[in-house]
Amino acid sequence: MDAANPMTRRVVLLALLAIAGTARSGAPNFLVIVTDDQRPDTIHALGNPHIRTPVLDRLVREGTSFTRAFCANPHCVPSRAEILSGCSGFRNGVWKSGLRFRPGLVFWGDALQAVGYHTVYAGKWMNDGTPHTRGYRECAGWYGGGGARGRSMAYPEDHKGAPVTGYRGWHFKTNTGEPIFEQGIGLGPRTSAQIVDAVLARIRQGFNQPFFLHLNFTAPHDPLHIPPGMKERYAELAKALPVPGNFLPEHPFDHGHLGGRDEELLPWPRTRDAIRRELAAYYVVIEDLDAQLGRLIQRLEADGLLDRTVVIFTSDHGLALGSHGLMGKQNMYDHTLRVPLVFRGPGIPANARREALCYLRDLYPTTCDLAGAAIPRAVQGKSLVPALREVQAVIHERVYGHFDEVQRMVQGDRYKLTWYPKTGRRQLFDLQADPGELRDLVAHPEMKTRVAGMMRDLESWLSRQGVK
């Protein structure tokens, strides 16, 4: 046996995990739901009176919501890499898009499969490799790119008639990766429903083991198409929906990504009417997503599975959609770095809120903890079980964020410092007094010591990651 071979090390690690422990008696099933580009302020029960999310409201009412959950890297590929690996992009190798996982990682599905879970991946796949090589035994409603060259998109324009620039050539695939072109090319009004259709078909087959079902939606990522039956609702919202409280026509300076694809979805300067219409489409896509989740929850309940299943709902990151004059997710503001995070299931406190600072990479060790499975040593995330049990539990003293080489962030209980290393610019926000992050305090003389201390902290953390 070649002990230096990364794949050999991975096989050995999996064997050791299996020896270290099996899932505890009565271990729960897991249904992990990850949406795409969903702001943290888009659930009715968590304070948004303008959106209708009855199914998510039920999860909130019957479960525990983490109100300060963060992605560390606000871009689809690196954020999902942290979810799959339980560690930062600097450790797993995917600290920005276009990079590949380092060899020898024990993925989330690996760790649970090693203790007896049947692991299923559903929906959007955007990382390197395939779900089968990243810890999942099978796929249902696998949705990804590749193999559609020369085929036309079913919906080449978005809700406002603009040419679609995202998900071009994406399509559904079979469990073994063959394309299913007849379900359409590119995102469409029914993509969320099609993903759930496939998941429901898999659930109807039954499971002989506890299951770990990792369901990944494309919604509410652009392109935004009005779902079936939602045109009147869109028109209603487009007339009266308020724009974000921190709306700006333009970002006050170049944050390092103003030329990105997301920022070209609407012209500069942003107008309130244009943002209102875009936000209305975004809301109806989320409301449709909520309805599709309702089908899934209803099926689990009818089959007697819901009360034996820990449901975890979150997103890979948020989105600007007019906040701070931005459209995309490549920024360090709370509307983008924070994500919704709700747990519901056996042993989870009902109608509870937790303010513990936490990351998406904490989900992996949390499920291991709940299942009684060993947590691999390479995992940097921390179990959230202590916070589920104790209101005042501290998981992380502070959180850090980054995007490519152009943005860095550190945030504690109250203050957030963002650093733009290419320009040397800094921002400081008091999140208690200014949750919308509109009053930059970095130049205030009384904040000089605080800024210097937070910069030292950020630079020290970056140094420990091996980056600047």
Check whether 284 has a pLDDT greater than 90: yes
- pLDDT (0 to 100) of residue 324: 98
Task: Please give the Cα distance from 167 to 123 (Å, whole number).
Answer: 13
- pLDDT tens column, 338-365: 999 999 999 999 999 999 999 999 999 9
pLDDT digits (tens, 9 = 90+) for 222-242: 999 999 999 999 999 999 999
Summarize pLDDT for 399-444 with one digit per residue, the tens: 999 999 999 999 999 999 999 999 999 999 999 999 999 999 999 9
Taking residues 38-60, what's their average pLDDT? 98
Q: What phi and psi, each to the nearest 5 degrees, are found at residue 83? A: -60, -45
Q: What is the mean pLDDT of the chain?
A: 94
With contact defined as beta carbons under 8 Å apart, do 378 and 91 qualify? Answer: yes
pLDDT at 468 over 80: no
The pLDDT of residue 13 is above 60: no
Amino acid at 429: F
> Confidence class of residue 63 from pLDDT cuts 50, 70 and 90?
very high
Residue 8 has pLDDT above 50, yes or no: no
Closest CA to 456 of 423, 417, 420, 424: 417
Position 17 confidence tier, pLDDT thresholds 50, 70, 90: low
Element (H, E) at 448: helix 448-465
Give tens-digit pLDDT for 297-343. Answer: 999 999 999 999 999 999 999 999 999 999 999 999 999 999 999 99
Please state the three-class secondary structure of 285-353 as a single string: HHHHHHHHHHHHHHHHHHCCCHHHEEEEEEECCCCCCCECCCCCCCCCCHHHHEECEEEECCCCCCCEE
- The closest alpha carbon to 415, from 460, 387, 447, 392, belongs to 447
Using the predicted structure, report yes or no on whether residue 16 has a pLDDT greater than 50.
no
Q: How far is CA 269 from CA 245, 247, 423, in A?
A: 17, 11, 23
Whole-Å CA distances, 138 to 119, 131, 132: 7, 8, 7
- Count CB-CB contacts under 10 A for residue 109: 22
Residue 464 parent element (H or E): helix 448-465
pLDDT of residue 3: 39
* Strand, coil or helix: 440: coil
What is the Cα gyration radius of the chain? Answer: 21
Q: What average pLDDT does range 128-140 have in this prediction?
A: 96
Q: pTM for the full model?
A: 0.95
Q: How far apart are CA 90 and CA 94, in angstroms?
A: 7
Amino acid identity, position 200: L
pLDDT tens sequence across 241-258:
999 999 999 999 999 999
Give the whole-angstrom CA distance, residue 34 versus residue 342.
11
Comparing CA positions, the residue from 322, 230, 233 lying closest to residue 276 is: 322
Confidence category of residue 55, pLDDT binned at 50, 70, 90: very high
CA 194 to chain centre: 20
- SS3 state of residue 163: strand
Percentage of residues of the chain with pLDDT beyond 70: 94
pLDDT at 177 over 60: yes
Among the ranges given (143-152, 154-163, 427-436), the one the predictor scored with the smallest mean pLDDT: 143-152
User: 21 pLDDT exceeds 60?
Assistant: no
Span 17-40, average pLDDT: 82
| Spatial separation of the C-alpha atoms in residues 430 and 434, rounded to whole Å | 6
In the chain, the percentage of residues whose pLDDT exceeds 90 is 92
The single-letter DSSP state of residue 441 is -
What domains, with CATH codes, occur in the chain?
6-398 (3.40.720.10), 405-468 (3.30.1120.10)
